[in-house]
A = this chain, B = another copy of it.
Amino acid sequence: MRLISFEADGREQPGAVVTGPDGTDRVVALGDLSLAQILEHGPRIAAAAGSADITALPTLTEVKLAPPVRPGKILCLGYNYAGHTQEQAPPFPNVFIKTPNTICGPGDAVVMPPSCTDVDYEGEIAVVIGTRASRVPQAGAMAHVAGYTLFNDVSDRGWQHRTDQWALGKSADGFGPLGPWIVTTDEVTGLGGRTVEVERNGVVTVSASTDAMVYDVAFLVHYLSQIITLEPGDIISTGTPGRFPQAQAAHTPLTPGDTVTIRVTGLGELTTPFVSMEENR
């Protein structure tokens, strides 16, 4: 099942995406259900809607997508792909936090503040927590995962490296495009064997297999839950693979007009334009 959030009646509402016999994706509104309720009842509701007159539903392209979830906590991994920057994998997951003001929706532009002059993208898979997890064993950890979505861990390298803690370089308003949807674990049970691909202005700069991920999802949920109670809707972003060496050598900070697309096998794609504050007025 693919879960979205879309704007209707001036607020963000949950929905599921169903594909009709003509191949068109359409949106089933899920009303005022919580994420937990959706995970329990969503497939049945979506199936019922899909078996009725599907052409009466709005198409996916007709709705304005919002972030598929508004996470209470945004926990992110650094150096979680073999070969990314560090020679050796870190001895423990290197976790940092982004604040909730970073979250924006699929299709939203990232507005770069004047003081951010070294903005970079990081294409990642985000794990969405489905049920509360506190000190869970690794063996049972996957039961707490609702599904997966895509996340661009936008970072300003200038702010990030002013001090030893990265927090501010990671937490500017809107520096966290999320979406387009959550693919739930009934459809995608694990992350193995997928390709994470990132394009900047149509040029592929990152293409890596999730098999190079250092700490996997079950371990991360287990590990984090030893001290932090994970709640439904929280996200764990699993880190970015490194750029191709030539793309890394040629890298320049993002500038207004740039567009970044993240694409992962089976999870969809997330495209984000970058604009200046003046352009956004």
Spell out A's residues near B (CB within 8 Å).
72-73, 75, 78, 90-101, 113, 115-116, 134-135, 156, 159, 162-168, 171-173, 224, 226-229, 231
Contacts and interface: CB of A to CB of B under 8 A. Distances in A.
A172 B159 CA distance: 26
A78 B116 CA distance: 22
Interface SS of chain A: helix, strand, loop or mixed? loop
B93 A167 contact: no
A92 B162 contact: yes
Contact of A168 (B95, B167, B168, B231): B95
B165 A166 contact: yes
Nearest to A169: B227
A112 B96 CA distance: 21
Given A165-B166, A227-B116, A97 B94 contact: no
Contacts of A92: 162-163
A228 B101 contact: yes
A78 B228 contact: no
Contact of A94 (B96, B156, B163): B163
Contacts of A172: 227-228
Contacts of A173: 134, 227-229
A115 B225 CA distance: 11
A97 B167 contact: yes
The 3 closest A-B pairs by CB, nearest first: A172-B227, A94-B163, A92-B162
Contact of A101 (B95, B135, B156, B229): B229
A100 B116 contact: no
20 contacts: A73-B99, A73-B100, A75-B99, A78-B163, A78-B165, A92-B162, A95-B167, A97-B97, A101-B228, A101-B231, A113-B226, A115-B226, A134-B173, A159-B227, A165-B165, A168-B228, A171-B227, A172-B227, A173-B228, A173-B229
A228 B170 CA distance: 10
A231 B231 CA distance: 23
Given A73-B99, A101-B229, A172-B228, 5 more contacts: A92-B163, A97-B97, A101-B228, A101-B231, A173-B228
Contacts of A135: 113
